[in-house]
């Protein structure tokens, strides 16, 4: 079993060193950091860590280009490795996701699932330290996303995931999201191509250091993607209520 982790970063100087050290304790194969020219020196910290950890690959982009393109860029980089790993994990760099949950995601993927989602809202999942308003918006966004895609998934917008190499190689060419809608698009592509999807519960911790990276423009892009998908695919309550064959 080989595993790579993709970390999209923008202004994570307060978190990135300790997070990477914790990830490195797991002895994984590769760590790909996609940094959008963070003005706080995030990339400089990563470059110093590269002197100690030879498995860190840093991709520095010229400006803030969005989470969706960061993830697809990370996918492309991982597939270009001399020996592409069997599994690819994506996670946030702000400590909202616990690195110690990575083996749990991979273990479930090894059972035959192509996309394993660390879910805040699946039974057993928790959210700690998040403002009530943000939680309400998140839950509503997930309900709308689930209806739009036609799935019974509880947490369609979670960024803590494990993808099989098979899934990424087959679906990458169909991923065109710029920002946060990438999380919905990857589930939609799994459904369209018959890949097996599974949720497992995680504890999500609200950001303690730094500021939220979700901008108004990115939230608008997310809503635009939802509305376009709804327009192309007429909603069917019977489809939504039918048990998801990929869970």
Tokens found for residue 125: 């999942």
Question: Domains along the chain?
Answer: 3-233 (3.90.550.10)
pLDDT at res. 129: 86
Hey, which residues does 198 pair with through a beta bridge? 116
Q: Are the CB atoms for 115 and 187 separated by under 8 Å?
A: yes
Distance CA 8, CA 208 (A): 18
* 230 Cβ neighbours under 8 A, 6+ residues apart: 148
Distance CA 158, CA 152 (A): 14
pLDDT at res. 218: 53
Distance CA 81, CA 4 (A): 10
Q: Render pLDDT for 204-238 as a digit per residue (tens, 0 to 9).
A: 998 655 455 555 555 556 556 555 655 555 444 44
Threshold 0.75, pTM exceeds: yes
pLDDT at res. 232: 57
């Amino acid at each position: 079993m080989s595993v790579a982790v993709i970390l999209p970063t923008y202004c994570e100087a307060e978190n990135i060193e300790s997070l990477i050290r914790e990830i490195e304790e797991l002895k994984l194969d590769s760590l790909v950091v996609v940094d959008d020219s963070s003005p706080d020196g995030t990339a400089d910290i990563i470059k110093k860590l590269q002197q100690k950890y030879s498995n860190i690959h840093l991709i520095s982009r010229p400006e803030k280009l969005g989470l969706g393109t960061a993830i697809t860029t990370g996918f492309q980089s991982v597939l270009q490795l001399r020996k592409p790993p069997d599994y690819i994990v994506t996670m946030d760099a702000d400590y909202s996701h616990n690195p110690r949950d990575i083996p749990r995601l991979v273990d479930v993927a090894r059972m035959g699932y192509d996309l394993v989602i660390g879910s805040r809202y699946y039974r057993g999942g928790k959210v700690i330290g998040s403002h009530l308003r943000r939680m309400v918006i998140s839950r509503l966004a997930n309900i709308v996303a689930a209806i739009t895609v036609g799935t019974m998934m509880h947490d369609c917008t979670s960024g803590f995931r494990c993808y099989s190499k098979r899934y990424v190689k087959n679906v990458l060419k169909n991923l065109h999201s710029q920002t946060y809608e990438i999380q919905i698009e990857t589930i939609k592509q799994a459904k369209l191509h018959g890949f097996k999807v599974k949720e497992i519960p995680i504890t999500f911790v609200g950001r303690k250091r730094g500021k939220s990276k979700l901008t108004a423009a990115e939230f608008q892009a997310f809503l635009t993607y939802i509305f376009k998908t709804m327009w192309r695919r007429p909603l069917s309550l019977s489809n939504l209520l039918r048990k998801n064959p990929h869970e």
